[in-house]
Amino acid sequence: MLDINLIRKEPEVVRQAIINRGNDPTPVDEILALDTQRREILARSERLRATRNAVSKEIGRMRDEAEREAKKAEMRRVGDEIAMLEAELAKIEAQLGELTAALPNLADPRVPVGPDETHNVLLRVVEGALPKPDFPPKPHWEIGEQLGIIDFERGVKLSGSRFYVLNGWGARLQRGLIAWMLDLRLRQGYEERYLPFMVKAQTLFAAGQLPKFRDNLYHDAEEDFWMVPTAEVPLTNLHGNEILDADDLPRLYTAYTPCFRREKMSAGRDVRGIKRGHQFDKVEMYAFTKPEESDHYLEKMREDAEATLKELGLTYRVKLLCTGDLGFASRITYDLEVWSPGVGEWLEVSSVSNVGDFQARRANIKFRREKGAKPEFVHTLNGSGLGLPRTMIAVLENYQQADGSVVVPEVLRPYVGTDVIRQAHA
RNA sequence: GGAAAGGUGGCCGAGUGGUUUAAGGCGGCGGUCUUGAAAACCGCUGUGGCGCUUAGCGUCACCGUGAGUUCGAAUCUCACCCUUUCCGCCA
């Protein structure tokens, strides 16, 4: 949610920012018009309320019955007028809310302007420590099926396309990755949380997922339960409607959750393998900071995510997203992409964003600089650390051997329980 | 799922239609006193919106949420949500 005061004061800036994202800026003008109307009507109805409050108090003290009835009749008319104005106000506020809720966040000035992902800026490539394979690398779906650790057929039998079953060492590899990543986050200073995987609609709104991305979410038909598309959603709301002490900031969190996405927007893309499913696992990083510190923690989160890939010895690259590819709530985003030789692709495994006060406004998360000071909105940041299926793909494809086995990365061995995977079961 | 009780400021807690402008207490902040501290005493104490002559002032809203009754609602009515206890079911 953008600050209405910013829209009032700098409509040109907001308009241009929306255009830079490739969106239509006309809602800005509608918002300004509605905002003016709102304030006019509000002033009128509040003057009437003030009158009614005062007169009602007098009525309570009046002894003369006739005079009393006269005043009551008069206030009845005032009441009717207030009701009329407020009905109008409610309509305007609903429209205003809808329009402002649909506006994306403003991009940071450092974000390059561009129409789509082709204009993202490659910042650098970091070579991993692993030797290049001296044989033609296979894609993970072949590795997985040959080892018997990924069962696509039974996944489809259970749930349809884009589902799979992990067997034996495959399941343990994923579990090991999750546990190792969480421990790495703890060493990096994040606190772990175990969160609800189903949340209320309001929780999704505060994180910026609703109303805009309704089509990409799963929800219960009968109750107000929505499956989380990312841990970012419950983490954002962890401190919803709270005023934090400045001493409590920053708050750094990490959480593992499954993520559920309908992938309606990506129908037909990446149908092969485990790259894009309706259900996937992710370890997330999240931060609540003072406004002036959020950029510092953006860099920390990016470094922390990068450390994951470095410790796995993988080759990756860092991109700065352009305005056209930026997420709805984000001001600035780094993407980390890991090289995977089997599919011959750079796979997006992490997205690290500074959201500024965009989610804090929606979720009403504030802090007080000192006792008695006026509460201010915090800044929030989120980053994947990392997405599991794609990290699994990268591990399987980068650590595959000529004989079809997969060596377990050294850091994962204590977590997985073996040095090398030769078959599904020991 | 059934029954009962309940939801009031940072916390406890009073409040069954109009001097409630939400009592009182605790906590917190400031002050008096003190060598210092404690005690005692005095003062202050939430969030948001709108307006203005903007260190402030005025006004409106907020007592779980939403509707309703009324000139006037924390208080009355209805629906819903949540909490606690008991019963049932269950990992």
Q: Where residue A400 falls among pLDDT bands split at 50, 70, 90?
A: very high
User: Would you call A351 a catalytic residue per the annotation?
Assistant: yes
Of A361, A210, A237, A187, give the one whose Cα is nearest residue A291: A361
pLDDT at A424: 93
Tally: H helices and E strands in chain A? 13, 17
Q: pLDDT tens digit string along A161-208?
A: 999 999 999 999 999 999 999 999 999 999 999 999 999 999 999 999
Distance CA A64, CA A254 (A): 69
Residues facing A255 on adjacent strands: A193, A284
Q: Which nucleotide across the nucleic acid strands is nearest to A366, CA versus C1'?
A: B47
Residues A103-141 as b or e (16 or more Cβ within 10 Å = b) = bbbbbbeebeebeeeeebeeeeebebebeebeeebbbbb
pLDDT at A393: 98
pLDDT at A271: 85
pLDDT at A296: 98
Q: Which nucleotide across the nucleic acid strands is nearest to A78, CA versus C1'?
A: B71
User: Would you call A8 a catalytic residue per the annotation?
Assistant: no
The catalytic position among A294, A330, A351, A384 is A351
Cα torsion A73, A75, A79, A81: sign: positive
How distant is the alpha carbon of residue A94 from its chain centre?
A: 24
Cα dihedral A282, A279, A347, A267 in deg (nearest 10): -150
pLDDT at A269: 83
Residue A113 CB closer than 7 angstroms to strand B?
no
The token duo for A71 is: 């005043």
Which nucleotides in chain B lie closer than 7 A to a protein CB? 18-19, 21, 28-29, 46-51, 59-61, 70-72
∠ CA(A141), CA(A158), CA(A146), 5° rounding?
25
pLDDT at A65: 82
The catalytic position among A276, A317, A368, A413 is A276
Q: Which of A53-67, A128-142, A411-425 has the lowest mean pLDDT?
A: A53-67
Q: Where residue A108 falls among pLDDT bands split at 50, 70, 90?
A: very high
The stretch A109-134 carries a mean pLDDT of 95
pLDDT at A224: 87
pTM assigned to the model: 0.94
CB count in 10 Å sphere of residue A425:
8
Q: How far is the CA of A206 from the C1' of B81 (A)?
A: 19
Q: pLDDT tens digit string along A22-48?
A: 999 999 999 999 999 999 999 999 999
Residue A372 CB closer than 7 angstroms to strand B?
yes
Residue A53 CB closer than 7 angstroms to strand B?
yes
Of A316 and A249, more confident? A316
Give residues with Cβ within 8 angstroms of A79, minimum separation 6: A52
Distance CA A424, CA A149 (A): 5
pLDDT at A374: 86
Distance CA A330, CA A316 (A): 22
Q: Which nucleotide across the nucleic acid strands is nearest to A83, CA versus C1'?
A: B68
Of A181, A197, A207, give the one whose Cα is nearest residue A387: A181
pLDDT at A376: 92
Q: pLDDT tens digit string along A307-320?
A: 999 999 999 999 99
Residue A247, pLDDT > 90, answer no
pLDDT at A372: 74
Q: pLDDT tens digit string along A222-231?
A: 888 999 999 9
Of A307, A333, A334, give the one whose Cα is nearest residue A124: A334
With beta carbons less than 8 A apart as the criterion, state whether A295 and A354 touch: yes
Query: Average pLDDT of chain A?
Result: 94
Residue A347, pLDDT > 80, answer yes
pLDDT at A370: 80
Q: How far is the CA of A308 from the C1' of B6 (A)?
A: 50
- Separation in Å, CA A112 to CA A104, A121, A211, A325: 16, 8, 27, 10
The stretch A257-269 carries a mean pLDDT of 89
Distance CA A64, CA A68 (A): 6
